[in-house]
């Protein structure tokens, strides 16, 4: 019976010369091999198609990255992401790799651009700066800034430094309570709670007594507040709240969602302005679970001709997010008059002795403006250069400029927070500490909280003050506002504030830092590769 079964198997599968003892093994192997061959054919076709698609995506996007001709560090970082991360790298690039703005915003920018440029020409006729009185090393910076963004330096301003949350938020709140015609506020983050609640109430009361109140908030930075009950109550009272650069899952496919409006500007009655690094948050309640302490910020209160420039920047941002019905291409002069009335924007009288120049920056207008001006500023230093920033990720040109300043004898101090709310930024920053220290740059670690102030002082002669961090995001992606302040008196006050930060800081112990764990160095160097994208 067994022999008959084996004979049947031999005849059925053609194993005529196979030993009966080996037949079960051969039979099993044959059947398995047959199944594998059948599976392998389909699997091979599918895997080939996947590999081919991945190859095409990588090559196509790599070619696109190269042809964009961006700074080589940015291009290299994106090539690493695209080439080393299958499929996901290409998807990430399509979402975040190019500075695509919403189509509606681009269309509105085209309509308003002619009006904006004509308004800038009008500013130049009202600028009263005697450029001959500026020190020689400041003239190129002032001229470069005007050439890049079209905004001249404005003379005869008063400028007051305010450095505590009580003073900053309290001063803004009092100004709103005293407002007679308009309150225009623009912030990256607005979060209810603590000292911010009285500001919300002050805006509601101002709107109810007939004051025009406009609040422009970044979609991502203020997403919780935009959905809050406080925002609803403000809108019901007549406060106009506008979301800037709306972000969502669908919009991510049409515009880059991490391009953000990072400006902090307040204009009251077209006569008083505030700007700097402070968001509309109370540090005593903001991000208390982050483990970095209170956020430390500074703002300035301004009066004088520069207020009109800040008011124009705000209303331009507002119109880019809202209806463009005010613009009439047949009469640009009338457009400016209409916008001036709508925006409560006017030429302001002289109130002080400070010369101030506003440099708004961001993608789409003059994308490299602030980066170019920062390089010029650093190369202009001859004695001292003090910088404060929460996020320090310099690209190669900025790194070379800082090292060169120290090597030619400039006392370069960089103050950064000891504890940062971004782990990736922390490691990417540390990757540059050693070479900066070797060049003579002194890095100070601030332990009094998260130092969020963005300030630069040069030789005690002039200063930069605003919302720009020393990282690629502020240079190339965010809409920012920076004041170039050509005033020794104010710069002296700002240096005193920087010294207060130094008093709560410790210089980096380079010997101990160099002895850190090799794995820490590896993480730093890995994040350095993609630092242009952080």
**Quick check: is 454 catalytic?**
yes
**Domain co-membership, 437 together with 418:** yes
Active-site position among 155, 218, 269, 395: 269
**Quick check: is 177 catalytic?**
no
Domain limit, last residue, from 328, 355, 382:
355
**Domain co-membership, 343 together with 382:** no
**Domain co-membership, 345 together with 409:** no
Active-site position among 452, 461, 471, 523: 452
Q: Tell whether 364 is covered by a domain.
A: no
Q: How confident is the model at residue 94 (pLDDT cuts 50, 70, 90)?
A: low
**Domain co-membership, 403 together with 350:** no
Q: What is the mean pLDDT of residues 510-526?
A: 86
**Domain co-membership, 496 together with 520:** yes
Q: Tell whether 363 is covered by a domain.
A: no
**Domain co-membership, 209 together with 267:** yes
**Quick check: is 426 catalytic?**
no
Q: Tell whether 512 is covered by a domain.
A: yes
Q: How far apart are CA 26 and CA 13, in angstroms?
A: 10
Q: How far apart are CA 453 and CA 419, in angstroms?
A: 14
Q: Tell whether 362 is covered by a domain.
A: no
- CATH number, domain with residue 339: 3.30.870.10
Q: Is the pLDDT of residue 67 over 80?
A: no
**Domain co-membership, 161 together with 282:** yes
**Quick check: is 317 catalytic?**
no
Which spans in 381-432 are helix H? 396-407, 423-430
Domain limit, last residue, from 62, 80, 96:
96
The pLDDT tens digits of the residues spanning 168-184 come to 999 999 999 999 999 99
**Domain co-membership, 119 together with 233:** yes
Q: How far apart are CA 184 and CA 344, in angstroms?
A: 9
Q: How confident is the model at residue 515 (pLDDT cuts 50, 70, 90)?
A: confident
Given the structure tokens 């308009």, which residue do they identify?
182
**Domain co-membership, 312 together with 375:** no
Active-site position among 184, 262, 418, 426: 262
Active-site position among 218, 335, 395, 459: 459
Q: Tell whether 16 is covered by a domain.
A: yes
The length of the chain, given as a count of residues: 534
Q: Return the percentage of the chain with pLDDT > 70, whole number.
A: 80
Q: Tell whether 109 is covered by a domain.
A: yes
Instruction: Specify the pLDDT at position 423.
Output: 83
The pLDDT tens digits of the residues spanning 193-231 come to 999 999 999 999 999 999 999 999 999 999 999 999 999
**Quick check: is 160 catalytic?**
no
The pLDDT tens digits of the residues spanning 234-288 come to 999 999 999 998 876 666 555 666 788 999 999 999 999 999 999 999 999 999 8
Active-site position among 184, 264, 403, 523: 264
CA 163 to each of CA 16, 65, 354, 496: distance values in angstroms, whole numbers, following the listed order: 96, 43, 19, 11
Q: Is the pLDDT of residue 357 over 50?
A: yes
**Quick check: is 197 catalytic?**
no
Of 120-124, 282-286, 376-380, which range is least confident?
120-124
Active-site position among 317, 454, 461, 471: 454
**Domain co-membership, 311 together with 423:** no
**Domain co-membership, 132 together with 63:** no
Domain limit, last residue, from 355, 381, 400:
355
Q: Tell whether 128 is covered by a domain.
A: yes
Structural domain boundaries enclosing 520? 369-533
Report pTM. Answer: 0.82
**Domain co-membership, 74 together with 155:** no
Number of domains in the chain: 3
Neighbours of 46 (CB within 10 A): 10
Q: Tell whether 361 is covered by a domain.
A: no
Neighbours of 517 (CB within 10 A): 8
3-state SS record for 462-531: EEEEECCCECHHHHHHCEEEEEEEECHHHHHHHHHHHHHHHHCEEECCHHHHHCCCHHHHHHHHHHHHCH
What is the Cβ-side half-sphere exposure of residue 448, based on CA atoms within 13 angstroms?
A: 15
Q: How far apart are CA 493 and CA 499, in angstroms?
A: 10
């Amino acid at each position: 019976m067994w022999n008959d079964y084996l004979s049947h198997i031999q005849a059925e599968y053609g194993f005529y010369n196979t030993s009966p003892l080996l037949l079960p093994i051969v039979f099993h192997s044959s059947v398995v091999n047959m199944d594998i061959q059948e599976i392998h054919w389909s699997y091979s076709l599918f895997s080939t198609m996947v590999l081919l698609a991945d190859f095409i995506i990588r090559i196509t996007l790599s070619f696109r990255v190269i042809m964009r001709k961006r700074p080589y560090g940015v291009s290299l970082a994106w090539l690493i992401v695209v080439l080393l991360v299958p499929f996901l790298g290409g998807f990430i690039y399509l979402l975040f790799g190019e500075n695509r703005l919403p189509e509606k915003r681009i269309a509105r920018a085209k309509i308003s651009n002619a009006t904006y440029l004509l308004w800038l020409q009008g500013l130049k006729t009202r600028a009263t700066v005697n450029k001959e009185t500026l020190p020689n090393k400041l003239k190129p910076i002032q001229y470069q800034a005007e050439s890049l963004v079209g905004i001249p330096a404005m003379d005869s301003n008063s400028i007051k430094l305010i450095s505590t949350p009580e003073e900053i938020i309290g001063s803004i709140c009092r100004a709103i309570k005293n407002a007679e015609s308009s309150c225009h506020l623009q912030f990256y983050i607005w979060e209810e709670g603590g000292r911010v609640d009285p500001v919300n109430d002050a805006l509601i009361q101002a709107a109810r007594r007939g004051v025009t109140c406009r609040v422009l908030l970044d979609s991502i930075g203020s997403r919780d507040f935009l959905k809050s009950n406080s925002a609803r109550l403000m809108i019901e009272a007549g406060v106009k709240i506008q979301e800037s650069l709306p972000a969502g899952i669908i919009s991510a496919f049409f515009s880059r969602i991490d391009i953000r409006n990072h400006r902090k500007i307040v204009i009251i009655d077209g006569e008083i302005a505030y700007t700097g690094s402070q968001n509309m948050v109370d540090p005593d309640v903001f991000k208390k679970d982050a483990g970095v302490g209170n956020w430390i910020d500074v703002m300035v209160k301004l009066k004088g001709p520069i207020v009109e420039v800040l008011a124009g920047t705000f209303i331009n941002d507002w119109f880019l997010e809202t209806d463009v019905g005010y613009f009439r291409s047949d009469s640009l002069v009338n457009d400016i008059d209409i916008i001036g009335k709508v925006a409560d924007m006017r030429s302001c009288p002289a109130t002080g002795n400070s010369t101030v120049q506003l440099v708004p920056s961001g993608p789409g207008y003059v994308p490299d403006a602030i980066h170019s001006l920062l390089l010029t500023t650093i190369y202009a230093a001859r004695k001292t250069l003090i910088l404060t920033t929460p996020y320090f990720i310099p690209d190669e040109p900025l790194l070379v400029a800082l090292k060169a300043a120290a090597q030619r004898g400039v006392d370069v101090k960089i103050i950064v927070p000891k504890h940062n709310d971004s782990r990736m930024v922390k490691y990417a920053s540390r990757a540059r500490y050693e070479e900066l220290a070797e060049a003579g740059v002194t890095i100070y670690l601030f332990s009094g909280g998260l130092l969020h102030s963005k300030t630069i002082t040069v030789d005690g002669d002039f200063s930069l003050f605003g919302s720009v961090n020393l990282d690629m995001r502020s240079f190339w992606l965010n809409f920012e506002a920076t004041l170039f302040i050509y005033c020794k008196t104010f710069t002296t006050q700002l240096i005193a504030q920087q010294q207060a930060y130094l008093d709560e800081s410790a210089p980096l112990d380079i010997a101990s830092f160099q002895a850190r764990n090799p794995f820490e160095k590896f993480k730093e160097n890995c994040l350095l590769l993609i630092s242009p994208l952080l």
